[in-house]
Every structure is written in C-alpha cells, then in structure tokens.
Structure 1
C-alpha cells in the first residue's frame, strides 16, 4: 500500500472541532463536528451524497480529468450505492491531514486506502480490510545493490526513502535501519525522483503503489513484494475505509456491503482490476480489523 499506502497506508494525528451540518437530521453532525453520528446514514440518504477524503495517491484514491478514481473511491461508491447513498463528494487532503480532517467533521469517510494500524485505530474507526498489499522497493534499473527486503537493505547500508507518516516508516524502524539512513518524503513521485537522482538507494512502499508509479517513471524497477516483520508478526499492509468512532452504525452498515464484494472474487477483480488489484489483494477471511487494531 501506498503501502498506501499508501497507501498509502498510513498517517496519524488529530483533534476534533465542533460545528453543525444544516439541513440534515438534528442529531447528526457531518460538517464541522461529530458529537452524535447515530443517525448519520439516514442523513446521508436524505442528502444523497457522502463526503469522502482522498489524498491524490494512485492507485488508491486520485483525481483524473475531474473525476475521482482509484481502489477506494470505486469500492466505496459501490458500497454507498447499495446503502442508498448514490454520490461521493470528494474532498482533497494532504495525507497527514486525513484523520484530523475526519475528526474535525470536514468529511464522513476517508477513501484513501489507509493502512489499518493500532495507533490509527485509537483515533478513528476502520472498516474491515478492503485489500492487502505486501511491501516492495523501487530501485534503479537492474537493482544494482541487489535489494530484496529490509534485511538486505540493512546489510547493504543503503539509504531508504519512506512517505511521511506512512506504515513503511515503522517497518523500516522495526528492521533496525538507522534513522540516518532514512529519508522522509511527501509524495510517491518524490520517492521516484529521489531514486532517479541518487538521493536514496530505494523507495519503500506497498508493491501495488510502486507498480503503478513505475508506469510513468522510466529507468526504475520494483522489487518482488515481501512481508516486513514487526515484533515477529508479518505485515500484510491491509487497508480500509475510515470513519469517526461515533459513526459506528455507519461503519457497520458499510462492512455488511463490503463483505459482499470481498467474498466475491470475480466482482472484486472486475471492480478493482483497472487499478492493478488482483485476487491476490483480497484480504484473507481471518484477517479482521479487530485483530489488526489489537496488534
């Protein structure tokens, strides 16, 4: 994902601020605050749309030709349509601002392929996993340092790039790579550019993000995906939709419809295949958000 990464994938921080949404159910605040989201789904049905945040990170959630595209918006549009909410209203956010913006009531859902991590679970409510995406590295053509995983990178003493606040930063730290050998970058393209100009030896992100990025960056290769270890546990980089904790009923309804898609391999691949997702990205049935948040 960016490792999602990106996935994205990914980022932290945030405090909530209050405010009300005019014209929807009185007990539901969906702009400028979230004191009580118990009737949020009813409010969204009445409005006919749901505000979703994206970070412009392909292939997870990005805008192209004025249209919101990617894994998360495509999947979420299908889910919300089934819930009686026919339109997604996109709101752009820098990655580090996604969760703070959610908590501040700027949108109802994060549609960015965000990695499900315990520290994020403490701040917001994740859906069940939408996908898994092992980690990979973007390297100069031919992989001159013969990198295959983080252990090989540590042995070689190379300099790695990671996205600011991304899950991969934690993987690199857990592998024991010195902080002096890690460069923090803002956008995926920054990582590709840093490899091209020799500022870093490899850019670490989810394999699916790097394969997508490699389409538009010549002279670079992407290593075979691998599963980093943190505390002796393999990291699959699962991603999901993100809701405010007070929106538990909306999240539960979302999960019911999501399960119908992730349980149907052909439908899943038909929807997400255009963004490089295959049956290999389907989350295992026993990989749950409760387990991931407790890790």
Structure 2
C-alpha cells in the first residue's frame, strides 16, 4: 500500500489544514457516563474491556499506520496497541474501518474504544478527544536516486546543492523547504507519494521530501531509490516533530492513563520499540523524546 490515499488528512500539514475528524457529534460528550453500546466510561472502562476480553479499535486503512492485510490488522498503531492492551489484560483488538474524517466522531458516538490510526496530536483534535502520550515522531527525510548522486542529507545541504525538491500538495513539507531557504522555483508540487517517487526515478526532481516513515515504506515498491537518514526540520527556530498517538473518548482518562503507563515502558526501551515496529519502517529516529508531552502539544 504505497499510495497513502489519506496522507493529506493525517496532520502532517499546517495547522489550518490538519483538522480532519474534528466534527463534534451532537450530544456525544454530554453524557460521558455511558457509551452508545451501554458500556461505562471512566474508571470502569478498563475493567469492562478485561471482562469482555477485547477492545474495539478504529483504523483508516492507511499503511504503515493501521491497515488490514487479508484478515489481519497490521501497522504501527495496532501492533503497539495490541502489545499494550495485552499487558493490561485485554487479549484481542476488534477492528472497525472508518473514513479518516469519521474517526473522532465515531469515537465520540461510542462505536469503538480507541482510534488506532497513528493520528497526529493537534490542539484542535485535543478539544474533542483524549490523546495518549506520543507513540512516535515523524522526522522528515529525502527520497533520492540510488547512490544519492547529489549527496544531500537534509534541507540545508539540499539548498547548498541547488537541487530541485518535490513536496506533496498541501502538505507541511513545502513550508519546511521554504523555511530552509530553498527558492520557490526549486520546489515542485506532487499530488501523491507515488508521483514523488516517479519524479525522482525519472529525474524530474532530485529529491522528494516527506516523513521518513512514509518514504521508507514507499521505497519498498520503488527500486532505484533510497531514503536519507531522517532529520528534524525547523520552522522559526522550532524543531518539527509531528507526533502521533492513540485516541480515547473524553471521560476515559483512567483508561488513557493506564495505556500511557504501558506505553512508557515500550518507548523507554529503544530495542523493544524497534523490534516491534521496524517491519513498518519505524526505527530509533521515530522514538519520541521523553520531554515531548501531549499536554504541551495540545496547547499548541
């Protein structure tokens, strides 16, 4: 699944465009003591999940974050969440497919218990749901021709080399390139990731700028390309982490907190983290720093 149909709605975008899935379902937050399926929120949520033996998770069918392969739910979020919920005494994930924009409204309506889709943590989304602490960060990288003929490693080196850089339409990487001082005539816009890979292979651009996670996945199906080491671009002197996490219904703070305790054990152990998620292109560069906290990200 190298084509990432939902990437432009993930939240790796500017603040003004990264608000997919934020519609509030009328009445959904008015009575947090009961879910649509009759379950109890708050302190009893984890007990309920343990008794029933499963947790209902939503995914958007977007590799490598959360997708169905045959009958198996795979990807970064389901793999990590399966490990965490097993540690909490809940053995099974029961998946529900959702359109990206429907993930949070469906959560509010009680259709599932957790969003397992690698959703970016933004203040707008925090207003409507609870996020775990960051599960990953999304450092940026460059896809180049095999052998990296221009020897670029990051945006400052791309500027110095005078190369042409491709970015996805509407995505935040365009602002990263401009912020690094690359002239607009050297920035080419593509509509989807595969277009970027094709442009690199065809020599129409020298490098394609996107998250390292996405580019490593894309490179699997695009021989003749390679991906640089990931790096953190800066805007106005601030490093751009693009973190994502699990999403819970408001009122389920205790469930979120229990999840966070197990998540901390995994992200504090880089070898375990990489072992779990390397299949999906996640490595040590995607480990969130201990100082990066959801409470701060929700403030903006």
User: Which range, TM-score by smaller chain?
Assistant: 0.7 to 0.9
Counterpart for residue 44 of structure 1: 49
* Structure 1 pair 100–275 and aligned structure 2 pair: CA distance change class (3 A): same
Q: Is the 8 A contact 1:8 1:112 kept in 2?
A: no
Q: TM-score, normalised by structure 2?
A: 0.75
Counterpart for residue 122 of structure 1: 127
Can you list the C-alpha shifts for 1:96-137, whole angstroms capped at 9, x where unaligned?
443444344443222222232334333332211222331012
Partner Cα separation in structure 1 for residue 208 and residue 229 of structure 2? 13
Counterpart for residue 15 of structure 1: 23
Q: Is the 8 A contact 2:136 2:288 kept in 1?
A: yes
Task: Specify every segment of 5 or more residues in structure 1 that has no aligned partner in the other structure, as ranges.
Answer: 21-25
Task: Specify every segment of 5 or more residues in structure 2 that has no aligned partner in the other structure, as ranges.
Answer: 13-17
* Structure 1 pair 138–172 and aligned structure 2 pair: CA distance change class (3 A): same
- Residue-pair matches, total: 284
193-202 or 244-253, which deviates more: 193-202
Bigger Rg over Cα: 2
Partner Cα separation in structure 2 for residue 56 and residue 244 of structure 1? 21
Q: Is the 8 A contact 1:113 1:239 kept in 2?
A: yes
Counterpart for residue 93 of structure 1: 98
Counterpart for residue 15 of structure 2: none
1:229 to 222, 230, 234: 234
Q: Is the 8 A contact 1:8 1:60 kept in 2?
A: no
Partner Cα separation in structure 2 for residue 170 and residue 245 of structure 1? 33
Structure 2 residue 68 is matched with structure 1 residue 60: no
Q: Is the 8 A contact 1:7 1:209 kept in 2?
A: no
Partner Cα separation in structure 1 for residue 119 and residue 137 of structure 2? 11
* Structure 1 pair 121–173 and aligned structure 2 pair: CA distance change class (3 A): farther
Structure 2 residue 167 is matched with structure 1 residue 161: yes
Partner-residue secondary structure (3-state), 2:197: helix
1:136 to 127, 134, 141: 141
Partner Cα separation in structure 2 for residue 281 and residue 273 of structure 1? 10
* Structure 1 pair 94–83 and aligned structure 2 pair: CA distance change class (3 A): same
Structure 2 residue 275 is matched with structure 1 residue 275: no
Partner-residue secondary structure (3-state), 1:77: helix
Over the aligned positions, Cα root-mean-square deviation in angstroms equals: 3.8
Partner-residue secondary structure (3-state), 2:252: helix
Q: TM-score, normalised by structure 1?
A: 0.76
Tell me by how many angstroms 1:151 deviates: 5.2
